[in-house]
Amino acid sequence: MSMQKSLLGISIALLFSASAYAADDQGSGELHFKGEIVNAPCEIHPDDINQSIDLGMVTTKRINTDKHSTAKAVNIRLINCDLANSDNGSGDPISKVAVTFDSDARTTEGTLMLDNTSTGEATGVGVMILNKDQTPVTLGQPTSDINLLEASSSQTLNFFAWMQVIDASGTTPATPGAVTANATYVLDYK
């Protein structure tokens, strides 16, 4: 009888360990969390921290004739702003922000813009970031100050981008293929 109890005990233990093993073998994964605490009067909307901007498709004839594609909106939304209780360093509330766009991949000829980083794809073309009035942004330099609305808890910083022929003279035309460019941006509240 004691042998039967021992076998019964072992059988039950094996049953539980087998089902525990089976539960572990049904899939697993990892979660990686990322965040940042900033000393700023506004937060950047989560969807605008890392954006993908689709510049569309344009024919070589059109881009070589017009020298650029159609401008696409690039918005940076600021949320949970508390400008009234902020300090610009002089005791006054923050009322403006400048944005500096930059990249490690810049064109080396013609107008300074984001270089196409797609290997073996379109040549003679880059990506130009534009202010809201569609004047070019100078990479590595702050934009002109953008006024913020003190009473608003949300703000939208409006910019544009387009694909642009690097050689405006037309000596080196754009060729077909993918265009990819990357930029970073940094806000400077004032």
Q: What angle do CA 97, 99, 101 make, to 5 degrees?
A: 175
Structurally, how many domains does the chain consist of?
Answer: 1
Edge to edge, the sheet with strand 184-189 lists 146-147, 96-102, 184-189
User: By the 8 A CB rule, do 97 and 145 touch?
Assistant: yes
| pLDDT confidence of residue 3 | 47
pLDDT tens digits for 73-87? 999 999 999 999 998
pLDDT tens digits for 121-133? 999 999 999 999 9
Residue 136 lies in a domain: yes
**If you average pLDDT over residues 52-67, what whole number do you get?**
96
Pick left, alpha or beta for residue 56 (phi over 0 → left; psi -120 to 50 → alpha; otherwise beta). Answer: left
Q: Which residues, 6+ apart, have CB-to-CB distance to 180 below 8 Å?
A: 116, 117, 118, 121
Full-model pTM: 0.82
% of the chain surpassing 90 pLDDT? 74
Side-chain-side CA neighbours of 12 within 13 Å: the count stands at 5
% of the chain surpassing 70 pLDDT? 87
Residue 35 lies in a domain: no
Residue 65 lies in a domain: yes
Residue 42 has a CB neighbour count (10 Å cut-off) of 23
CATH of the domain at 142: 2.60.40.1090
Residue 109 lies in a domain: yes
Q: Tell me the Cα Rg of the chain.
A: 27
169 phi and psi, to 5 degrees? -70, -20
Query: 174 lies in which domain range?
Result: 43-189
Residue 150 lies in a domain: yes
Give burial (CB, 10 Å; 0-12/13-18/19+) of 55: middle
In this model, does residue 110 exceed pLDDT 60? yes
The CA-atom distances, in angstroms, between 43 and each of 33, 77, 87, 172 are 18, 9, 16, 43
